[in-house]
Amino acid sequence: MEKRRRCGNSLAVVALVALVAAMLPPGEAKLSPDHYRSTCPDVEAIVRALVAKKVKETFVTVPATLRLFFHDCFVEVFRPDVPDVPAGRSGTHLVVSDEADAEFGSANGCDASVIIASRDNDAEKDAPDNVSLAGDGFDTVVRAKAEVEKECPGVVSCADILAIAARDVVAMSSGPHWAVELGRLDGLVSKAGSVAGRLPGPDMRAADLATLFARHNLTTLDVVALSGAHTVGFAHCTRFTGRLYRHGAVGDGDGDGARTVDPSYDPAYAQQLMEACPPDVGETIAVDMDPVTPTAFDNAYYGNLARGMGLFTSDQALYSDGESRTAVRDFAENQTRFFEAFKDAMVKLGRVGVKTGRHGEIRRDCTAFNK
């Protein structure tokens, strides 16, 4: 009788824990690097092997995967005045409905919503700010998910696979390695309309960046550290040619009609960019964001800023602004401090908009909601 009572009490505790987990609002999930210790212990090794294969195929995998993680996590729509998902509505998937945010309260965040594909091109990945996301980032997650499913079907979320892959591409390009917190669910909402105004733009000033990042509990130090990801990858010329040919033009600066090069550019660097990106440059032409060590995840980016070699306005602004300049100089002088700050910022970013309980699912296919 006593044994039966203890067993009943244990079951009640398990049920209570499950209920509490289901009721946790998005973004307050309990994440842990050991989340899959008993259910899929080899998940990180599986993902790492696939990522290594992809990086060997093309280095674009590195910046593409890292940028995909950032865009996925950074787009979060949270409405605290909205009630929880009504009972019986678990498993409802919304792609473009205007009621999506009102139904689920918090949409997007680190939930792999950016990977969803829509036949009508109205999912998050189809937003103007996301159409430039390189296909190799998506391919990395989709292929890694397929490998994980062979070993642990229906266990590991696409959101967690993306978080692991983002860490791995950094480590595989001479950058730092950190313990990735796991336990995210995949989101149930993916809307192109949720993206506008929620991602940093190439023309932003430091104060605007700080305000935008603060919405996700990220500090100015985090802004500077995460911007260091620009030490790898490339940018299309059309994203910054305004600094080369239209600085000071009407509607694009001081309004006096002048057409000059942004004076914050190092002259030699500006000339180099002009040669690569003429005024009539095509939309597909791109340049390295770090012209010094473009395939190494290091602190060269910060030294570039000190020399006037920040590609975007938002890059150079970090050195022009007094508050962020201190961190830029510190990271330029000490790569270890940059790596530590970058790791901390990536962990914090990975906690944005995390889904639990009825707010998410474990997708079978990262590009589609479960039926």
Which pTM was predicted?
0.85
Cα–chain-centroid distance for residue 367?
17
Choosing from 71, 216, 247, 359, the catalytic residue is: 71
- Binding site residues, as ranges? 72, 75, 109, 111, 113, 124, 200, 230-231, 290, 293, 298
- Binding site residues for heme b, as ranges? 230
Q: Do domains 25-198+350-361 and 206-348 have the same CATH topology?
A: no
Give 354: exposed, middle or buried? Use CB within 10 Å, 0-12, 13-18, 19+: buried
Enumerate the domain spans of the chain: 25-198+350-361, 206-348
- Binding site residues for substrate, as ranges? 200
93 among known catalytic residues: no
The architecture of the domain spanning 206-348 is: Orthogonal Bundle (1.10)
Give average pLDDT by consecutive 10-residue segment, the chain, 371 residues.
Answer: 43 38 51 98 99 98 98 74 33 41 60 94 93 95 99 98 99 99 96 90 95 95 98 95 83 53 97 96 95 98 98 98 97 99 98 91 97 83
* Cα distance between residue 3 and residue 5, in whole Å: 5
CA distances from 25 to 28, 131, 217, 341 (A): 6, 30, 17, 28
25-198+350-361 fold: Peroxidase; domain 1 (1.10.520)
- What is the token pair recorded at 349? 């970013």
The answer to whether 167 and 346 have CB atoms below 8 angstroms apart is yes
The answer to whether 241 and 308 have CB atoms below 8 angstroms apart is no
